Chains A and B, each alone.
Chain A
Amino acid sequence: MDTILVPEPEESLPNLSVSNDQGILQWISSVDHKQIGIMYLWLSVLFLVVAGIEILLVRLQLAIPNNHFLAPEVYNQLFTMHGTTMIFFVAMPAIFGFTTYFVPLMIGANDMAFPRLNAFSFWTTFFGGSLLYFSFIAGGAPDAGWFNYAPLNEYNYSSSPGIDYYCAGLLFAGIGTVTASINFVVTILHYRVPAMSLKQMPLFVWMILINSFLILAAFPSLNAALAMLLLDRQLHAHFFSAAGGGSAILWQHLFWLFGHPEVYIVILPIFGIFSEVFPVFSRKPIFGYSMVIGSGIAIALLAFGVWVHHMFATGLGNTVNGFFAASSLLIGIPTGVKIFNWLATMHGGAIRFSVSMLFAIAFLIEFTIGGLSGISFAIVPIDWQLTDTYYVVAHLHFVFIGGTLFGLLSGLFYWFPKMSGRVPDQRLSRWFFWLFVAGFNITFLVQHALGAMGMPRRVYTYPNLPGWGVLNLISTIGAFLMAGAVGLLVYILVRALNKGAIAASDPWDANTLEWTTTSPPGLKNFDRVIPVKSTRPFRDYKRPEDADWKRQEAAYTEKPPDIDITQNNSHGE
């Protein structure tokens, strides 16, 4: 009998390149968390390029008024696929890639709790994305926007199979997301090195823990809605078709009951990344460790009480709108708390402006702009005026790019030496940073103005009204600048993998356990783990005379006789 020998990894280290010496079969059969993490990240890069090309076509169409570069149907498909892909197959896989790779390393574990489930999660995400893109050759991509409102998503309005593929692809990916989150929770709660208490976990791990619960609570709502929509389209059920007695607004409720938590799902892990990056590059401990956790939990809870602010224009009445306006204003507070945590961490620190830190600092500014435009939407009359205009587009890109993507890039430049064992070119990386930030601001700042002038989103062309043409042209130029920057990034990464300088195991003088391994980590992460007595175990290990836990112990035991004990601040740093 012919048997296929699945190559078990032996000596070779999981390297970033696909041309591993044990071949592609070893990659697709892998259950190693580092390899699966890398596959998640490559999947994300692949879809970033695809969804980026889609939106460049859209921006070309919008570059001048009354343009006919794209047909309206094609335009609808492109912006729908752009949004859906960026959220579900760029942001989520990138976050899960870092999580799968680094959570076990940061808690001193050798793998995830369920390695095969981990592989399952990746491959369902992969096939979900493939299914979504198969729609292009199956008769047309989904074309009702990424939130896919009823009744446009119903068969009578979109009879190509695109939306069926949207449902099936996102259901697949959703199952992968939920199973991965279950895996993360079990890993974090059961596989920490015994010395590490919950209050000594790195903040990235904390944010992933909170985020996983958020995913487990939010995704079922989307999955239920997608199942209902598939039943509507395939078996002629009547959930969302008003003609059959159903309710179009039910889709909006179910979708945003998932969708609003989702925007926090793609930002909480980012807050975790920044809570690692700011302390390391400011040479200071995080300011207010427990405040970062507490505000994270507050965000997760409040996230389920704000979804109707996406629906102010549907006419649910003043009482409902008032409640959700208040809760939406409220959720800005814990996010603001975190911004102050990071600012205070930088304050008085010896800051090193590495590319990772540059993205972190840029994030503080861009995300605050996105937050301010977000707060303006919580005010119902402003929302009525600006809903479905380019102001919304500008806002969501400031939080998704200025927040999520900047965080992912910050994490990429922070962890790339660990994952690949190579150092990316510093000069080119800085060029990339400045080009990307410039392109991003050129593209989206002007869209605030376009929105305020009343330009509706998702309309494939526009009349030559005063100012519209030139602002759109600026936006398109910015988009191409960003695309060039992303091309440069791919070049930087590939070049670093091939001939980058060899990275040290601890290039940033960092604090957490993943940096105690070699770069890249060996097949088995740890034979032994250094003692964990504070939130910065590796720093304690490198500077035993100045260890955090010693200082904390001293603060608890010593009672300086000349100081009134009631005024004694026990956390002198």
Chain B
Amino acid sequence: MENKLMIKLVVGTEAMFFLALIMAYVYFSLLPGFSPQQADHLDIRSTAIFSAFLFSSSFTFWRAEMNFKQGKMTRLKGWLLLTLVLGLAFLFGQGNEYARLLRENVSISSSLFGTSFFTLTGFHGLHVFAGLVVISIITTLTFMGDYDRSTSSVFGTVGIYWHFVDIVWLFVFLIVYVLPHFHKITG
């Protein structure tokens, strides 16, 4: 109980943090010169693919939680490993995207677009990375048998954080990738 309340408060305060970053991004995106760059350099298709990995990792972690509650430890291990792989795939996709942008000379110091894009997606990536560290720790502990016949609240607690990271990406993806695309079609 205490752990869940604690992580909910963490998620709440982190949400405010991302709100500040998103507001800065939106504010800058209304300035002239921003949206052409956004349209030129972002590739919604490849990003959609690695985003799908992150979204499905939320599902796999939810399955892991369910199996833990039912005491199915083998399945729990499977779903945890799958979550890790999906999370890593997302980070790998994001790394690829960053590498491509840097090759196209878009960096954090190149323009206002680069500044706000790398800051927003970078801080999110950092949160994914932190989540993966935590999940790999609890996966290791699961394999070592620490949670056999246990009523630990750790999966529920980590789950709240992981789903939160996922939801943040949903908003980031919509604002950074989808909305400008939509603008381009209509206008």
Contact = CB atoms under 8 A, between A and B. Distances in A.
B136 interface: no
A189 B16 CA distance: 22
B58 to A, nearest CB: 23
Given A246-B112, A250-B27, A190 B2 contact: yes
A298 interface: no
Given A236-B109, A247-B27, A190 B1 contact: yes
Interface in B94-139: 108-109, 111-112, 114-116, 118-119, 123
B6 A235 contact: no
B144 to A, nearest CB: 22
B27 A189 contact: no
Interface string A182-206: 1101100110000000000000000
Interface of B is mostly: helix
Contact of A216 (B1, B9, B27, B31): B9
Contacts of A238: 109, 111-112, 115
Q: Please classify how large the interface on chain B is, using the bins under 10, 10 to 19, 20 to 34, 35 or more.
A: 20 to 34
By CB atoms of chain B within 10 A, which of A238, A244, A250, A257 has the most? A238
Given A220-B14, A220-B17, A239-B24, A244 B5 contact: no
A245 interface: yes
A191 B17 CA distance: 28
B140 interface: no
B20 A225 contact: yes
A56 to B, nearest CB: 37
Interface string B21-34: 10010011001010
Contacts of B14: 220
Contacts of A221: 16-17, 20
Contacts, number: 88
A228 B13 contact: no
A225 B24 CA distance: 10
Contact of A113 (B2, B28, B114): B2
B5 A245 contact: no
Contact of B13 (A220, A235, A239, A254): A220
Contacts of A217: 12-13, 16
B31 A245 contact: yes
B10 interface: yes
Contacts of A125: none
A231 interface: yes
B13 A178 contact: yes
A518 B111 CA distance: 63
Contacts of B114: 237
Contacts of B1: 190
Interface in A254-305: 254, 257
A178 to B, nearest CB: 6
Interface bracket on A: 20 to 34
B50 to A, nearest CB: 24
A502 interface: no
B108 A224 contact: no
A182 B27 contact: no
Given A217-B16, A220-B17, A182 B9 contact: yes
Contact of A228 (B19, B24, B112): B24
A245 B17 CA distance: 23
B20 A235 contact: no
Contacts of A178: 13
B16 A245 contact: no
Contacts of B6: 113-114, 182-183, 186
A245 B111 CA distance: 8
B124 to A, nearest CB: 13
B21 to A, nearest CB: 6
Contacts of B109: 235-238
A223 interface: yes
16 contacts: A114-B2, A114-B6, A185-B5, A220-B17, A220-B20, A225-B20, A231-B108, A231-B119, A239-B115, A246-B28, A246-B112, A247-B27, A250-B27, A254-B20, A254-B24, A257-B20
Given A216-B12, A219-B13, A238-B109, 9 more contacts: A182-B9, A186-B2, A189-B5, A190-B5, A216-B9, A218-B16, A220-B20, A247-B28, A254-B24
Which 7 pairs between the two chains have the least Cβ-Cβ distance?
A224-B20, A220-B17, A236-B109, A220-B16, A237-B115, A245-B112, A216-B13
Interface of B: 1-2, 5-6, 9-10, 12-14, 16-17, 19-21, 24, 27-28, 31, 33, 108-109, 111-112, 114-116, 118-119, 123
